[in-house]
Amino acid sequence: MSKKKVSALDMPDVPMGQLPEHLNLQRTRLRCKADAPIHYSGAYASMGVDNSVDIKNFNSNFKVEIVRLTEDEIEFDMIGIDAALANAFRRILIAEVPTMAIKKILMVNNTSVIPDELLAHRLGLIPLDADPRVFEYLSENDEPNERNTIVYKLDVSCKKGSPRITVKSDHLKWLPNGSELEIATLDKSSKVKSYTSFSCSQNSLPEISKKPLGVKHDDIILAKLGPGQEIELEAHAVKGIGKDHAKWSPVAATWYRMLPEVVLSEEVKGQDAEKLVKKCPLNVFDIEDLGNGEKKAVVANSRACTFCGECIRDVSEGLVKLRRVEDHFIFTIESVGALSPDELFIEAVKILEEKCHRQIVQLS
C-alpha cells in the first residue's frame, strides 16, 4: 500500500500560530551537518506564524545575562533578538562609541631611528585613560581648550656614553595647564601665545580632576634611543569615533555567535562513548558512570562547541545533532580604553536609541 505524504498544512489538529516540534526546530535552529550548515529561512506565514517585530513580545522575551565580567572583557547572552540587532551593537561599538586619542603631534626634536610619521602613528594608537563622556568634540572652527583637548609631553634623551634607553608610554606626561610650546610670530611686540588656550587648569574641573589623565598601559614600547639621541614633542588628544580612524575605536575586538546546542539522539555507551569524548578537544562531551562497569556519553558543555564537526564525522547519521539557537547570541566585548566593557555596551545602547529616535522624528 502506498503511503500518502502528509504536510503540516494537512494537519487539522495543529492550531494556527503553533507548529509541530520538527518544524519549530527548523524555524528557530540552524543545523550543522558534515558537509554544510542547513538553514530554513521560510516565514511560515501560511501556518499563522507571525515573524514581524512586536514590542510587547520583545519586552517580555528579551533578556541579557552576564556570564563573565572582568576589567577589560565581558561575555553576556542576549536572548530574544535577531542577528540584525546583534550586529548593530557590534558595529556601533567598533565605529561610533567615542574615545580620546592623540591626533596632533608637535615635534620639537627627534634624532631617533624612528621617523616622525611612524612615531606619530604609534602615539595615536596608545589607549588613553581619559573618560570621553566629560569632553567635547573639537570641530574645525573651535579653538583647543580644557574641555576638548588633552595635552601630553614626551621629553626623553640618552646621554652620550650611556646604555640604550627604551622609550615607553609611561614617559608621556599629562600637562593639565595646556601646551608649553609657544607659537613663533614675526611681530616680536605681540603677546606670546601657546598652541592651546586653556582658561583654567584641567585639575580644577571637578569632572576631570578625579584622576590624572594618563595612559591605560604604561609598558607600550614607542622607540629605543642610543647614546646622543633624544625625542621631544607634544601630543594633543581629542575626542573622536572609530568611523573616522581606528585609533578612536574603544574595543580591541567585539564579536557574537549564536548559542550552540548539541543533542544526542540516542545513548552512546562503552567504547563508542569514549571515542566520541576523545573526538572533541573542547570537552563538550563527558563520560557518565552508570555502574556495573557501564558508561555512556553525555553532553557536558554545549556552549563550548565551535562547530568544528569532528563529533559528526565517522559516526552514524543523526546520532549527534549540532544546532544553533537563532535568537540567542553570546556577545563578547574587549575594552582597551578608559571605559569598562559594560559601560561601553551601555553607551552603544544609548547611541542606538538616539538613532531610532531620529528615524521616528523623520517619519512622523
Domains, the chain, ordered by start: 19-95+254-265+318-330 (3.30.1360.10), 99-249 (2.170.120.12)
Alpha carbon of residue 188 to chain centroid: 52
* CA pair distance 349, 343, nearest whole angstrom: 10
Task: Please state whether the predicted TM-score (pTM) of the whole model is above 0.85.
Answer: no
How does DSSP assign 170-201, residue by residue? GG-EE-TT---PEEP-S-TTSPPEESS--SS-
* CA pair distance 113, 36, nearest whole angstrom: 52
Beta bridge pairs of residue 264: 320
User: pLDDT tens track of the chain, all 364 residues?
Assistant: 444 444 444 444 444 446 677 677 777 777 776 665 665 555 555 566 666 777 888 888 899 999 999 999 999 999 998 889 999 999 999 999 999 999 999 999 999 999 999 999 999 999 999 999 999 999 888 899 999 999 999 999 999 989 999 999 999 999 999 998 876 544 455 555 667 878 899 998 888 877 889 999 999 999 999 999 999 999 999 999 999 999 999 999 999 999 999 999 888 888 888 889 998 888 899 999 888 888 899 999 999 998 888 888 877 777 888 888 888 999 999 999 889 999 999 999 999 999 999 999 999 8
Beta bridge pairs of residue 221: 168
* CA pair distance 109, 186, nearest whole angstrom: 22
Residue linked to cell 580632576: 209
Q: Which residues contact 265 (CB under 8 A, 6 or more apart)?
A: 318, 319, 320, 321
User: What cell was used for 111?
Assistant: 634624532
Query: Do strands 320-335 and 251-264 pair parallel, antiparallel, or not at all (unpaired)?
Result: antiparallel
Torsion angle (degrees, nearest 10) of CA 256, 53, 326, 328? 50
Instruction: Count the neighbouring beta carbons within 10 Å of the beta carbon of residue 328.
Output: 19
How does DSSP assign 129-161, residue by residue? ---GGGS----TTSPP-TTT-EEEEEEEE--TT
User: What cell was used for 122?
Assistant: 604609534
28 burial via Cβ count (<10 Å: 0-12, 13-18, 19+): middle
* CA pair distance 38, 243, nearest whole angstrom: 35
Alpha carbon of residue 171 to chain centroid: 29
Q: Comparing C-alpha atoms, which of 32, 94, 27 is closest to residue 284? A: 32
